[in-house]
Structure 1
Amino acid sequence: MATVHLRIGDLVWGKLGRYPPWPGKVVSPPKDLKKPRGKKCHFVKFFGTEDHAWIKVEQLKPYHPHKEEMIKINKGKRFQQAVDAVEDFLKKKEKQGGKEQPVQDDPHFHHFLLSQTEKVRGKDTRSTSIQAADSTAINGSITPTDKRIGFLGLGLMGSGIVSNLLKMGHVVTVWNRTVEKVPQDIQHVRKYDTEFTPCDLFIQEGARLGRTPAEVVSMCDITFSCVSDPKAARDLVLGPSGVLQGIRPGKCYVEMSTVDPETITELSQVISSRGGRFLEAPVAGSQQVSNEGMLVILAAGDRTVYEDCSSCFQAMGKTSFFLGEVGNAARMMLILNMVQGSFMATIAEGLTLAQATGQSQHTFLDILSQGQMASTFVDQKCQNILQGNFKPDYYLKHIQKDLRLAISMGDTANHPTPMAAAANEVYKRAKALDQSDNDMSAVYRAYIH
């Protein structure tokens, strides 16, 4: 494909992450904003929003030649409003004889920059966020921290996180509890021998190997952990050759596992008792989102650790939020996963009810994808169900664990969770049908057996 040469002022279609192509204009970035390192990209202002971002050249297309094509494949209300904004811009430009106002005079641009500055200065009392260069907010290039990074747990989520840390130039030491083979899709992407373990894979990519969790912590300044459940998280810290044995004053420990508030509080206390600095940072996303470096990170605890992790969070996610004291991130994560798990069970129920009443499941999905509930999540999960593809992107056993923990949290707060409780029973049935290690969408099978 021929290279398209763009310049300041050109109208384009820009694709950002997993979002559909969106109309925008190539503009000059602020003087103190550097291009992301190693990327050929342009700074784009998107129409219909206040978003600006660096977009890779391969994700940009000229506006006019591709206008009809894009309008056919994107039908959302916000998208149409963005297209209308482009047309209004062109009409105004034509009336002005082809001249346009300087980007610096755009009040929306100044409003956006001000809002980001206020977040960095801590004026947003609700939460503070760090957003990556490939997210919907502006940011400079990711300069990797000079701190030594450790990572414990190379499962579905951890593997993608470590890969992105290495890609962005971080020095990483890894450890994994089991020596199971590399997940199939990671083998395919990197073309490694099937006998390679997760640790072998990342050593090939430049990581170092730690023999035990204690050794990793003792070798590193900041150690991340991402394991399956509260028991695994406790064992990793408190068990033989565990994290606690390697903690020294000033060492940082970041727990990324989705666990209950009680567990995260206990871990924070034992780490702090040894002089360590603690941050919880569970992530919202899936294996695919982790591989793409588009996770949403929810952090709470030691604010200085959060700031020290800035380049790591930018490498692994599209945005991160600081939510205050330890336990808040665990609570928020469980609420989010409770909603997602309940929604997935409802979608499966709808698909099977459509089939039971003689309706086309494909038509149901087509209608759903054109309505207000349309989303990448719905489309991917439904397509996988209809294809009988339940390869894990987020384990069913893990979403059921999250539902169970959320229900328990509701009990503690004396708050009813009847919808989550009903969904939890369906997932338990799916587990009884041997679906634990399949994707959460395999809850569908609980309705057909």
Structure 2
Amino acid sequence: MIRPEKTVIGFVGTGVMGKSMATHLLHAGYPLIVYSRTKEKAEELIENGAQWVHSPKEVAEKANIIITMVGYPEDVRDIYLGETGIIKSGNENTYLIDMTTSTPTLAIEIYEAAKKKGMHALDAPVSGGDIGAKEAKLSIMVGGDQQSFEAMEPLFKHLGTNIIYQGQAGSGQHTKMCNQIAIASNMIGVCEAVVYAKKAGLDPDSVLKSISTGAAGSWSLSNLAPRMINGNFEPGFYIKHFMKDMNIALQEAEAMGMETPGLALAKQMYARIVEQGEENSGTQALFKYWEME
């Protein structure tokens, strides 16, 4: 069992979700070292007792558990495998937990590089968006050595409620791709339902009350459809990051010889609203696709 008094957690990436996740660990009593490319995003954490450092290298030198929650696979690669990255700069027996949605191939590469250094790497992407992060109710999908997972499971319980070990390195990322594939087609259906309700002259809020608890129910229908109805397109999860995830899933599916027509359609639709400048909106902004017709 990990003990706060014997643990120093480094947290890299304090954006929409990372900030809430790091806050839960701070409140749980763990000494916390934080780094983010934009220091302002970490100010609240610093005010509450987190220590700021100026690079992932400094995080690696000071922490014995390091969590990363950043934007893109290229960021992950640089943070872990760069010349001044975590693996080269860190200490033996450090636990490395990448919670970014990244590629299974990169997760395996990090795992193997960490193992050569005597470190323990897990790929542990999450689902649940800004709400799940704030409420510590994330779904956490973990790949890597089972012994490492079991050692870190108490830590994960401060961040989520559905924590599942999926198998060897890369398995967490593959599972997250399953999640994103399901969300992509589902989001089209959620948007279509809301647009249909409005065009039929119905009260969309009343419609949601009827359909969100039935067979059509989904997280997106319950949590994102109300935002669409209220014209709230602030990001719980950025479209630009979802585009990245869909590209990864399409590439992985193609490598396995699998067709993904639903995913391909969703990517086309999102690409169209990105052309209209919506890349920094939340994924629920797909709703605006119908305004373009």
TM-score (norm 1): 0.61
Give the structure with the larger helix fraction: 2
1:322 maps to 2:165: yes
Distance of 2:7 and 2:111 partners within structure 1: 21
After TM superposition, list the pairs within 5 Å mapping 1:59-74 onto structure 2: none
- In the alignment, what sits opposite 1:304? 147
Which residue in the other structure is 1:332 paired with?
175
**2:42 pairs with 1:151:** no
Which one of the candidate residues 412, 419, 425 is aligned to 2:268?
A: 425
1:189-212 deviation digits (Å, cap 9, x = unpaired)? xxxxxxxx2332212211112221
Query: Secondary structure, in 3 states, of the residue corresponding to 1:155?
Result: coil
Equivalent in the alignment of 1:121? none
Q: Whole-Å Cα distance in 2 between the matches of residues 354 and 217 of structure 1?
A: 52
Secondary structure of the 2:118 match is coil
> In the aligned structure 1, how far is the partner of 2:158 from the partner of 2:274?
34
Shift of 1:378: 1.0
Name the structure 2 match of 1:178. Answer: 38
The reply to whether residue 286 of structure 1 matches residue 129 of structure 2 is: yes
Matching residue of 2:96: 253
Measure, in 2, the Cα distance between the counterparts of 1:242 and 1:265.
17
User: What is the percentage of aligned positions where both structures have the same residue?
Assistant: 26
Q: Which residue of 2 aligns with 1:88?
A: none
**1:202 paired residue number:** 45
Alignment of 1:169 onto 2:169: no
CA distance in 1, matches of 2:237, 2:126: 12
In 2, distance between residues paired with 1:221 and 1:443?
41
| Corresponding letter in the other structure for 2:154 | S
Q: Say which SS state the counterpart of residue 309 (structure 1) adopts.
A: helix
- Measure the CA separation in 2 of the matches of 1:356 and 1:200: 45
Q: Which runs of 5+ in 1 are unaligned?
A: 1-141, 180-196
What is the alpha-carbon distance in structure 2 between the residues aligned to residue 145 and residue 424 of structure 1?
46
Stretch moving more, 277-286 or 306-315: 306-315
Please report how far the alpha carbon of residue 329 of structure 1 lies from its aligned counterpart in structure 2 after TM superposition. 0.7
Give 1:266's aligned residue.
Answer: 109
Match of 2:20 among 160, 179, 183: 160
Residue 270 of structure 1 deviates from its aligned partner by: 2.3
Determine helix, strand or coil for the equivalent of 1:323.
strand
What's 1:367 paired with? 210
What residue is the counterpart of 1:401 in the other structure?
A: 244
TM-aligned CA deviation for residue 359 of structure 1: 5.3
Q: Residues 339-418 of structure 1: matches in 2 within 5 Å?
A: 339-356=182-199, 361-418=204-261
Q: Equivalents in 1 of 2:17, 2:232: separation in Å?
A: 19
1:110 is aligned to none
User: Whole-Å Cα distance in 2 between the matches of residues 259 and 434 of structure 1?
Assistant: 24
* Cα distance, 1:352 vs structure 2: 2.5
1:376–1:340 Cα change, 3 Å = closer
Change (3 A) 1:208 1:370: closer
| Distance in structure 1 (CA, Å) of the matches to 2:53 and 2:150 | 25
CA contact (8 A) 2:19 2:42 kept: no
Q: 1:221 aligned to 2:64?
A: yes
**Uncovered stretches (5+) of structure 2, i.e. residues with no partner:** none
The answer as to whether partners of 2:187 and 2:220 remain within 8 angstroms in 1 is no
Matches within 5 A, 1:112-151: 144=4, 146-151=6-11
Structure 1 residue 406 displacement after superposition: 1.2
Q: Separation in 2 of the partners of 1:217 and 1:377? A: 37
Q: Which amino acid in structure 1 is aligned with residue 269 of structure 2?
A: V
Distance change (3 Å), C-alpha of 1:293 and 1:362: closer
**Paired amino acid for 2:98:** E
SS at match of 1:241: coil
Quote the residue 1:435 is aligned against.
278
* 1:212 alignment partner in structure 2: 55
Confirm or deny: 8 A CA contact 1:261 1:327 kept in the other structure.
yes
The change in CA–CA distance for 1:320 and 1:363 in structure 2 (over 3 A counts) is: closer
Secondary structure of the corresponding residue to residue 351 of structure 1: helix
Name the SS of the counterpart of 1:414 in structure 2: coil
| Structure 1 residue identity aligned to 2:235 | P
Aligned-CA RMSD value: 2.0
One-letter code aligned to 1:164: H
Q: Structure 2 CA distance, aligned partners of 1:364 and 1:246?
A: 55
Q: Which secondary structure does the structure 2 equivalent of 1:374 belong to?
A: coil
Structure 2 contact 8–32 (Cα < 8 Å) conserved: yes
* TM-score, normalised relative to structure 2: 0.92
Asked if 2 retains the 8 angstrom alpha-carbon contact of 1:161 and 1:291, the reply is yes
CA distance in 1, matches of 2:9, 2:213: 44
Per the TM alignment, residue 143 of structure 1 is displaced from its structure 2 partner at its CA by 6.1
